[in-house]
């Protein structure tokens, strides 16, 4: 593999590949790389491929793909990967998670009932400043799943059916939520418009504080002229008087050390997959669910609680070990819960390989449902389960009462699974059905709403071939 990079500021993590650095593209020259990592601050179109006659894989390095004006045409000629794949989804879903969390908190505060959680997003007027990929995905979801009326403001009117173009001033005056996701550094909102803001307005900002500074918003929160603020763009202390109307979450963009490492590992994983394909080399991830437990047999929610493996559960673990005996497994990673660790111990006793416990692989927290019979809970919480069955986004974002959502699971496992994928070949994971759904989806590149429906029985072993992301099910 010959790797080329275009205007990357930090290339140290690629040094083992010896990349050719292209700082000034000469369109009359021909570059010998078959893989190109391109800074997405600069446009790249399919016509530019003439400068890269050997190119097979184009990797866009950044948080969106607005720099690819003819992406469909480009993708027909070379394989296109986006380093933002997980992060972009994460940012989009992050917005929705913040809205749900804010409304949940308001229910707790104003109704004094932690279990009386009802969505307050349905039918709302939503204004979006910056209708890029994140903004459009958020708008699409809110419109289709919550019947929201969408207003948007960007550099031009895209004349999108069912959406209404409006000025930023109008968004502040009319909308119940204004979501700021603009990327332009010149974007700003006139502070004077806050004098005429909708009193039910909640401002959600994950872009930059300079667009509408929090210090300007705060007095309107204190006086009750707007309903709330959500964001990750300020470290200012809002004061006790308005704390209940504010949800400030840690920034999850590419600013933290962990997020930068995640971004790098996504790229390294793409390179690893490409090299496997070119060398016709196979590497597998095998994902096992723990053996059947006593509570599985009784159909009782376990979650973060535990129960012992049954006799059949131990036998299934033995059979999984036998199925893995000829797979050249080098390492086994397990959830910290007893049922998974016991299953993993049975496997490594047969395979004689190292075992590591990954705390983030713990099963989803089912909240108040844990330790209770499934049939009884499903009867008592019929609306909750009906919504989950009918709406994949509801299933993804809405947590079990006092527990976790699938999106919570996704966020906590993403860093660890990408680190393991880059570091190891031919390894196995022993986990739980809910967590394994998200692990499988991350590895195979599924959308978040697709991940949540990938069931796995206790006696099933999932094999994923990394070079082509082909998944197969082995029943032991």
Please name every residue paired with 62 in a beta bridge, in sequence order, or none if there are none: none
In this predicted model, which residue has the larger pLDDT, 203 or 183?
Answer: 203
Give yes or no for residue 180 having a pLDDT over 70: yes
pLDDT band at 91 (very low <50, low <70, confident <90, very high): low
Give yes or no for residue 119 having a pLDDT over 70: no
Q: Mean pLDDT across the stretch 226-255?
A: 69
- Counting residues of the chain whose pLDDT is more than 70, the rounded percentage is 90
In this predicted model, which residue has the larger pLDDT, 221 or 134?
Answer: 221
Give yes or no for residue 257 having a pLDDT over 80: no
419-445 tens-digit pLDDT: 999 999 999 999 999 999 999 999 998
What is the DSSP pairing of strand 355-357 with strand 331-334? parallel
Q: Mean pLDDT across the stretch 257-277?
A: 88
Give yes or no for residue 279 having a pLDDT over 80: yes
Give yes or no for residue 44 having a pLDDT over 80: yes
317-361 tens-digit pLDDT: 999 999 999 999 999 999 999 999 999 999 999 999 999 999 999
What pLDDT does 129 receive? 94
What pLDDT does 182 receive? 85
How many Cα atoms occupy the beta-carbon half-sphere of 243 within 13 Å? 4
Q: Mean pLDDT across the stretch 155-162?
A: 80
18-22, 53-57, 112-116, 219-223: which is most confident: 53-57
Domain boundary assignment for the chain: 3-82, 87-248, 260-475
Q: Which CATH class is domain 3-82?
A: alpha beta
Give yes or no for residue 315 having a pLDDT over 70: yes
The CA distance from 61 to 466, in Å, is: 21
Give yes or no for residue 244 having a pLDDT over 80: no
pLDDT band at 238 (very low <50, low <70, confident <90, very high): low
Q: What does the mean pLDDT of the chain come to?
A: 87
Give yes or no for residue 370 having a pLDDT over 50: yes
What are the backbone dihedrals phi and psi of residue 5, each rounded to the nearest 5 degrees, phi first? -130, 145
Q: Does CATH number 3.30.930.10 belong to domain 260-475?
A: no
What pLDDT does 459 receive? 92
Tell me, letter by letter, the H, E, C secondary structure of 388-429: HHHCHHHHHHCCCCCCCCHHHHHHHHHHHHHHHHHHCCCEEE
Q: Which CATH superfamily is domain 87-248 in?
A: NAD(P)-binding Rossmann-like Domain (3.40.50.720)
Q: Evaluate whether 320 touches 292 at the Cβ level (below 8 Å).
A: no
The continuous run of DSSP H or E covering 58 comes out as strand 57-61
- Topology alike, domains 3-82 and 260-475: yes
- Look up residue 289 and give its DSSP letter: E
What pLDDT does 160 receive? 78
What pLDDT does 116 receive? 38
Q: Mean pLDDT across the stretch 56-77?
A: 86
What pLDDT does 94 receive? 72
Give yes or no for residue 158 having a pLDDT over 70: yes
As a 3-state breakdown, the chain gives helix, strand, coil percent values, each rounded to 5, of: 45, 15, 40
- Counting residues of the chain whose pLDDT is more than 90, the rounded percentage is 58
40-44, 48-52, 390-394, 446-450: which is most confident: 48-52
**Mean pLDDT lowest for which of 214-218, 241-245, 416-420?**
241-245
pLDDT band at 111 (very low <50, low <70, confident <90, very high): very low
First-residue to last-residue Cα distance in the chain = 38
Give yes or no for residue 243 having a pLDDT over 70: no
Q: Mean pLDDT across the stretch 218-235?
A: 86
Sign (positive or negative) of CA dihedral 163, 164, 168, 174? negative
Could you give the C-alpha distances from 316 to 236, 323, 335, 354, 434, in angstroms and in order?
54, 10, 17, 20, 19
In this predicted model, which residue has the larger pLDDT, 103 or 88?
Answer: 103
- Report residue 130 as tokens: 């910056």
Give yes or no for residue 143 having a pLDDT over 50: yes
What pLDDT does 394 receive? 80
What pLDDT does 88 receive? 54
Q: Note every long-range contact of 214-218, with CB atoms under 8 Å and residues 24 or more positions apart, other chains counting.
A: 214/238, 216/191, 218/242
Give yes or no for residue 51 having a pLDDT over 60: yes
What pLDDT does 276 receive? 93
Q: Evaluate whether 56 touches 79 at the Cβ level (below 8 Å).
A: yes
pLDDT band at 248 (very low <50, low <70, confident <90, very high): confident
pLDDT band at 236 (very low <50, low <70, confident <90, very high): low
Could you give the C-alpha distances from 4 to 12, 66, 71, in angstroms and in order?
14, 21, 20
């Amino acid at each position: 593999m010959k790797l080329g990079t275009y205007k990357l500021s930090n290339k140290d993590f690629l040094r083992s590949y010896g990349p050719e650095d292209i700082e000034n593209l000469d369109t009359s020259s021909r570059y010998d790389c078959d893989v190109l990592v391109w800074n997405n601050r600069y446009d790249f179109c399919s016509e530019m491929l003439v400068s890269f006659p050997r190119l097979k894989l184009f990797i866009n390095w950044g948080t969106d793909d607005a720099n690819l004006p003819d992406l469909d045409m480009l993708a027909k000629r070379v394989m296109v990967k986006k380093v933002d794949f997980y992060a972009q989804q994460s940012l989009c879903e992050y917005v929705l998670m913040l809205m749900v969390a804010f409304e949940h908190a308001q229910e707790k505060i104003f109704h004094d009932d932690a279990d009386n959680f009802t969505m307050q997003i349905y039918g709302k007027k939503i204004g979006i400043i910056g209708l890029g990929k994140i903004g459009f995905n958020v708008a699409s979801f809110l419109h289709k799943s919550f019947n929201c009326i969408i207003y948007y403001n960007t550099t031009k009117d895209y004349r999108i059916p069912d959406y209404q173009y409006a000025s930023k001033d109008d968004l502040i005056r009319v909308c119940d939520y204004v979501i700021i996701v603009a990327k332009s550094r010149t974007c700003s909102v006139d502070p004077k418009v806050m004098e005429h803001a909708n009193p039910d307005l909640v401002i959600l900002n994950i872009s930059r504080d300079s667009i509408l500074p929090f210090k300007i918003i705060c007095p309107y929160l204190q006086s009750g002229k707007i309903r709330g603020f959500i964001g990750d763009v300020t470290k200012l202390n809002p004061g006790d008087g308005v704390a209940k109307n504010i949800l400030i979450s840690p920034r999850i963009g590419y600013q933290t050390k962990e997020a930068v490492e995640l971004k790098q590992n996504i790229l390294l994983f793409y390179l690893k997959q490409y090299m496997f394909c070119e060398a016709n080399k196979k590497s597998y991830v095998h994902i096992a669910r723990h053996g059947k437990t006593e509570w599985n047999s009784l159909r009782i929610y376990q979650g973060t609680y535990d129960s012992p493996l049954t006799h059949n559960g131990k036998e299934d673990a033995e059979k999984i070990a036998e199925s893995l005996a000829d797979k050249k497994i080098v390492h086994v990673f397990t959830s910290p819960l007893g049922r998974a660790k016991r299953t993993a111990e049975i496997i490594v006793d047969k395979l004689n390989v190292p075992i590591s416990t990954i705390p983030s692989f713990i099963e989803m927290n089912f909240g108040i449902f844990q330790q209770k019979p499934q049939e009884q809970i499903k009867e008592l919480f019929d609306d909750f389960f009906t919504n989950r069955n009918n709406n994949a986004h509801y299933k993804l974002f809405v947590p079990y009462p006092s527990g976790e959502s699938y999106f919570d699971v996704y966020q906590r496992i993403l860093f660890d699974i990408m680190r393991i994928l880059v570091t190891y070949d031919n390894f196995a994971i022993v986990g739980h059905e809910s967590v394994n759904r998200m692990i499988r989806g991350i590895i195979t590149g599924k959308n978040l709403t697709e991940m949540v429906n990938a069931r796995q029985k206790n006696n099933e072993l999932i094999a994923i071939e990394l070079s082509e992301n082909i998944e197969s099910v082995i029943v032991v």
